[in-house]
Amino acid sequence: MSGTGPEDEPPEPRGTLHPTSARALTACSVTGLVLGWGIHPLMTRIAGGPPLVSWTQSLALVLVAGIMSFLAWHTWQTVQVRGERLEVHQAVNRLVLARACALGGALVAGGYAGYAVSWLGDQSQYSDRWIVRSVVAALGAGVVMLASLALERACRADGGEPRP
């Protein structure tokens, strides 16, 4: 006797999603650091000169950091402070954006930091410029990562539990 009533249907699966791990962020940062540090001598040998870091690159990362910070703040105000729910597609989109930007920000921050380190001790007339621009870009990417982690935290819901 097999019934097709609601009591016979298996419960709808509820998944769990864990925050971005420190291990993943560290792996991205270290990978970026090694790649950024190695690109200076590699490109000098291959192309005859290292890649240049412009203010546009640095300021673009600062702009993205500002946008991610605003989005994290706005989402926190909406979900955590006012207790409103986001539409499902909005929540998923913000969570995916937060994860991608957190990992990407860690990788890029490490890359620019490694590139800045590769210029230390260089006697080139341009080394100071590339170090400053790389540090600004690394800081911008670091803020992108931190703001993305804040956005990821702001997206957390109560899991269906009623609020007291």
Q: What is the pTM of this model?
A: 0.84
CA distance 134 to 128: 10
User: Which pLDDT value is given to residue 125?
Assistant: 86
pLDDT tens over the chain, length 164 residues: 555 555 667 666 666 778 899 999 999 999 999 999 999 999 999 998 889 899 999 999 999 999 999 999 999 999 989 988 889 899 999 999 999 999 999 999 999 999 999 999 888 888 899 999 999 999 999 999 999 999 999 988 765 454 44
Per-residue model confidence (pLDDT) at position 42: 94
Distance CA 63, CA 143 (A): 10
DSSP alpha helices (H): ranges in the chain?
22-47, 55-76, 88-119, 127-154
CA-based end-to-end distance of the chain: 44
Cα separation, 123 vs 118, in Å, equals 12
d(CA 65, CA 60): 9
